[in-house]
Amino acid sequence: MPDVIRLLPDNVANQIAAGEVVQRPASVVKELLENSVDAGASKVKLLVQEAGKTNIQVIDNGQGMTENDARLAFERHATSKIQKAEDIFTISTKGFRGEALASIAAVAQVELKTKTSDQELGTQLKIEGGHFKSQDFCNTPQGTRIEVKNLFYNIPARRNFLKSNNVELRHIIDEFERVALAHPQVGFEFKHNQTSLFNLPATKLRQRIVNVFGKKFNEKLVPVEEDTPILKLSGFIGKPEFAKKTRGEQFFFTNHRFIKNGYLHKAVLNAFEGLLQDNSHPTYFLFLELPPEKIDVNIHPTKTEIKFEDEKAVYSIIRTAVKHALGQYNIAPTLDFETEAQFRNSPQPSGPVKPPQITVDPTFNPFETASPKKKPSGDGGSGTNAGFGRGSYQGGAPVSRQSQQWESLLSNLPEVEKTEQVQAKFDDAPSAPAKQYLQIGKKYILTNHGEGMILIHQNRAHERILFERISNAIASQNIPSQQLLFPQNLKFTPGDFALLQGLLPKLTELGFDLDEFGKQELIVQGVPLYLENASLQAVFEELIEDEKNHKSQDRKEQSEKMAQIMAKVAAIRTGTVLEPSALAKLVDELFACKSPYVSLNGKAVVVNLKLNDIDKSFH
């Protein structure tokens, strides 16, 4: 058999290697911006056309390249940043692998103009698909201008894989923000299709954050500062009351490189524990500085994942520092006082402490029908607030066995019942007792049903009702819309706004009446009827968050998802006290739904407590 192994030609090898470094236009932007920062530029300009699919230009005033360097820069593993293997352990530049330019040039048409301070004329190079096309002298200011045209023009499969312009632009903005935040001392400009998205003068971190994310951020930020022998931590966290539904602004930088690290993210979440509402996300911009030899940035080609020598120590420093910062601003108890504080605030008992005890009227029978013969003591007679559940807390009387059983019954609620099992339509026999509705713990509705009773989760029930209504309206293309008396202005970060722009046609279909205002604002003139009372900011934040996480839904899936989001935001929350008439209405509307038993997240909405089961728990 003849020999079959061959060395791949360089341009093919580069194309394959490019797969790792260049996934989308945003990867090119990241690499080029980082090169400019590494070259010591004080000003960097980014010009992008069509979300980077047709044209990306980065222009800097850094040190530039000599003629020879300019040519070498496009060779694989050509770098000025390290010389020997050990150097990667003391690296302080963004790049060092010498792969980016070679990879980019392998999959695009690239034009470079560059000049150093001691040259009269600069160098101009053209490379296409990894092949040198031309080299000339040129007139150009000191620094480097790289233009990357028609990314993946020679790999149609990769080009087709790119997402919509809005999504690709969003990725570019993400990368731009990361580099801009990591280097506030460098001025950055960013234009997309002639529109200026960012114009960031050189400044300090706090001002840079404000310039990137908007003036409102200034009052949201709390500084974090911690200097330890292991690492220096600095930056800002957002006050908990400003936490958002979108995961947006969460940044870790290690030695001025943006990194992703789920473990360290948890350290921040942990420090915020108890201060955030459900589903809201803390904001943070945290800079870790530690000796380069204590980290390994080499584990990932795009270098966003890194290894720490002592990750546990880093975790606990971050957690403590964030807690401390929150505490200093009187937002949370500081670490040291955390447990003590509870004792200090509670009244000092004079004698031995007695546990609270529960009394329950032993004659009260919650399973009796409409008009109980005897009402529990203390009930004003409305019949809607009878002493169900936990009883009243008074010292003295022994804990009743009945109440213990009642509690255990509640904690062992059966799984959601199948449709056949619960006769849902409330078509009880004519002799059936009148319906009674009772709100329990500000979250459940208890009502008698047949001989037993059912418990309904008010929030999930209302979500289900709204979801089915909105879905029906979408399906029949007849969404009732309500014009707002006072149109609302909502402001977004440029990145979020870019994503929203892609959603506008869909939102109009769903009953929104929206106008774009400037580059970052929407004016809401009208909303779908069901959202009349919902927080619009919350609706849009949820929509953006969802769009970030689910980028390839088909239209039907997308409609359904939006209906879900709107239903969730507009639904009656757990903790809302409801009038008896509202309880009745909610229950009726729930059972008019197609799937009343399952919540939008697949959990139980209704729990059936059959007389049999109740009897059993009294054995």
| Element holding 583 (H helix, E strand) | helix 580-591
Q: Please give the Cα distance from 591 to 464 (Å, whole number).
A: 10
Among 29, 39, 173, 507, binds ligand ADP (CB under 6 A): 39
| Element holding 440 (H helix, E strand) | strand 437-440
Q: Contact between 110 and ligand ADP (CB under 6 A)? A: no
- For residue 600 the two structure tokens come to 């939008």
Least distance in angstroms from the C-beta of 89 to Mg ion: 18
Q: Contact between 101 and ligand ADP (CB under 6 A)? A: yes
Q: Please give the Cα distance from 615 to 619 (Å, whole number).
A: 7
Residues that bind Mg ion (CB under 5 A): 35, 95, 100
**Residue closer to ligand ADP (CB basis): 44 or 563:** 44
- At 465, phi and psi to the nearest 5? -60, -50
Q: Contact between 60 and ligand ADP (CB under 6 A)? A: yes
Show Cβ contacts of residue 61 under 8 Å, excluding neighbours closer than 6 positions.
Answer: 41, 42, 43, 141, 142, 143
**Residue closer to ligand ADP (CB basis): 63 or 280:** 63
**Residue closer to ligand ADP (CB basis): 38 or 468:** 38
- For residue 342 the two structure tokens come to 């509870």
Q: Contact between 244 and ligand ADP (CB under 6 A)? A: no
- For residue 246 the two structure tokens come to 């979108």
Q: Please give the Cα distance from 239 to 220 (Å, whole number).
A: 5
81 makes contact, choosing from ligand ADP, Mg ion, none, with CB < 5 to 8 Å by partner type, with: ligand ADP
Least distance in angstroms from the C-beta of 62 to ligand ADP: 5
Least distance in angstroms from the C-beta of 136 to ligand ADP: 18
Q: Contact between 97 and ligand ADP (CB under 6 A)? A: yes
Select from 68, 77, 82, 151 the least CA-distant residue to 114. 68
Least distance in angstroms from the C-beta of 569 to Mg ion: 43
Select from 147, 187, 174 the least CA-distant residue to 32. 147
Q: Please give the Cα distance from 593 to 29 (Å, whole number).
A: 49
**Residue closer to ligand ADP (CB basis): 35 or 166:** 35
- Nearest residue by C-beta to Mg ion? 95
Q: Contact between 123 and ligand ADP (CB under 6 A)? A: no
Q: Please give the Cα distance from 321 to 234 (Å, whole number).
A: 9
Count of residues that bind ligand ADP according to CB under 6 A: 24
Among 22, 91, 100, 590, binds ligand ADP (CB under 6 A): 100
Least distance in angstroms from the C-beta of 554 to ligand ADP: 38
* CA dist list (Å): 271 to 128, 131, 237, 330: 50, 53, 11, 14
Can you tell me whether residue 10 is helix, strand or coil?
helix
240 makes contact, choosing from Mg ion, ligand ADP, none, with CB < 5 to 8 Å by partner type, with: none
**Residue closer to ligand ADP (CB basis): 135 or 270:** 135
Where does residue 68 fall: left (phi above 0), alpha (psi -120 to 50 degrees), or beta otherwise? alpha
**Residue closer to Mg ion (CB basis): 63 or 493:** 63
**Residue closer to ligand ADP (CB basis): 76 or 464:** 76
Least distance in angstroms from the C-beta of 300 to ligand ADP: 14
Show Cβ contacts of residue 33 under 8 Å, excluding neighbours closer than 6 positions.
Answer: 44, 46, 58, 175, 176, 179, 188
Question: Under rule CB under 6 A, which residues in 62-81 are in contact with ligand ADP?
Answer: 62-65, 73, 78-81
**Residue closer to ligand ADP (CB basis): 73 or 531:** 73
Among 14, 15, 27, 36, binds ligand ADP (CB under 6 A): 36
Site string for ligand ADP, 134-153 (x = CB under 6 A): ----------x---------
Q: Contact between 95 and ligand ADP (CB under 6 A)? A: yes
For 183, what's the count of Cα atoms within 13 Å in the CB-facing half-sphere? 23
**Residue closer to ligand ADP (CB basis): 88 or 614:** 88
Looking up tokens 């908990």 gives 240
- Nearest residue by C-beta to ligand ADP? 95
Site residues (vs ligand ADP, CB under 6 A):
31, 35-36, 38-39, 60, 62-65, 73, 78-81, 95-102, 144
